[in-house]
Amino acid sequence: MDEGELSKWEITQNALTGDSGALQVLAGQAGVSVGLINFPLDDNCEVVTSGETSVPIAPLDEEQLAALQDGLDVVADGQTPLAGAAIRGLEALRLGIHAGELSGDNYLVVMTDGVETCQEAALSDLLTFVDEAEKYYGIRTYAIGAPGSEGSRSLLSQIAILGGTRKSDDCAETPTVAAESCHIDLTESTDFEAELGAEFQGITEATTQTCEYDVPQNARIDRNKVNVEYTPSGGSKELIVQDPPANGDEQCEGAEGWQYSADGTQIVLCGQICAEVLADPGAKVRVVFGCQETVVR
């Protein structure tokens, strides 16, 4: 409203591609790929077609960073096809995983400053996509609500809950005020520029190299048939052995290999192999689960 101040969209562009923006931070790390979907594509409700993106997902080198900067250099206008755009983002990730083009951890970050204005009936489909993407593909979905998204608080919080990125275990599942939101709610921010930058920084830190990997909540997997594969930069793939904790031992105490977390929801790397993974941005860790046998009588 004040032409002397940056708009929400200009602040968002800076938080992503500025000198210390999230994409600039990620660009300094190996093994990171990023794509982009803008919505809408026109001044109404158009979104990309299934499997497509505004900027294709690719390793975040200088060329890709420039492509993303160009992709963000658009005028903010039109309706808010939130459901359609987010579904297309999850489709692009799922297709990339199926094609073997996207390995490692995969994330979708959805940001909006409004409510769904194009296809409200598709919101239930969106929640189903988010839920299944997390359960069956390990894709986590972050949701950011910029000022103007007050009417989307409940939806965005449900996305965060189903997408495995809720802000805390205590947040309400159907919030009505900002203090209860499970997503990244900036609607009551007093310094949108600083807080958005901090949140993007937090996401980049959470999505880079780690020693903890979620176990898919799929009834068909066999938790006794697991291969944890490690490929260092420029090296050959090797198997990491399982080293379960002894009775009374804390997580990873004296262990060299991998363990299930106490609640069974994660695989945790322990000892020297964890140190090697964290020290090598280009390292790849792949967890492969076998399926339970089906007995036919």
DSSP 256-294: -EEEE-TTSSEEEEETHHHHHHHH-TT-EEEEEEEEPP-
Select from 142, 176, 206 the last residue of a domain: 206
278 belongs to a structural domain: yes
Q: Whole-structure pTM over 0.85, yes or no?
A: no
Residues 163 and 278 in one domain: no
Q: What is the mean pLDDT of residues 52-79?
A: 93
Cα 262 to the center of its chain, rounded Å: 24
Using 50, 70 and 90 to split pLDDT, how confident is the model at 100? Answer: confident
31 belongs to a structural domain: yes
Residues with Cβ within 8 Å of 146's Cβ and at least 6 positions away in sequence, in order, are: 8, 12, 111, 112, 113, 186, 187, 192, 196
1 belongs to a structural domain: no
The SS3 assignment for 270 reads: strand
Residues 164 and 194 in one domain: yes
Using 50, 70 and 90 to split pLDDT, how confident is the model at 279? Answer: confident
Residues 24 and 106 in one domain: yes
List of E strands, 43-120 = 55-59, 106-112
User: Structure tokens of 194?
Assistant: 């600083």
Residues 99 and 245 in one domain: no
Residues 167 and 100 in one domain: yes
Least confident of 107-111, 167-171, 261-265: 167-171
Residues 138 and 255 in one domain: no
200 belongs to a structural domain: yes
Residues 58 and 182 in one domain: yes
- pLDDT above 70: residue 219: no
3 belongs to a structural domain: no
296 belongs to a structural domain: no
Select from 206, 233, 263 the last residue of a domain: 206
**How far is it, in rounded angstroms, from Cα 102 to Cα 138?**
12
Select from 185, 206, 227 the last residue of a domain: 206
User: What is the pLDDT at residue 56?
Assistant: 97
User: Structure tokens of 15?
Assistant: 């938080």
Residues 117 and 53 in one domain: yes
Residues 81 and 128 in one domain: yes
Give the chain's domain count: 2
172 belongs to a structural domain: yes
Least confident of 17-21, 107-111, 257-261: 17-21
Residues 18 and 159 in one domain: yes
Burial 98-119 (b: 16+ CB within 10 A, else e): eeeebebbbbbbbbbbbbbebb
Residues 15 and 155 in one domain: yes
DSSP state of 49: P
Containing structural domain, residue 131: 8-206
Looking at residue 54, which CATH number applies to its domain? 3.40.50.410
Residues 53 and 142 in one domain: yes
User: What is the pLDDT at residue 173?
Assistant: 63
- pLDDT above 90: residue 170: no
297 belongs to a structural domain: no
Between residues 124 and 2, the one the model is more confident about: 124
Task: Check the CA dihedral 176-178-181-187 and report its sign.
Answer: positive
- Whole-Å CA distances, 264 to 86, 207, 259: 30, 21, 9
Token pair 């972050």 is found at 142
**How far is it, in rounded angstroms, from Cα 237 to Cα 103?**
14
Rg (CA), the chain: 20
Nearest to 155 by CA among 120, 186, 179: 120
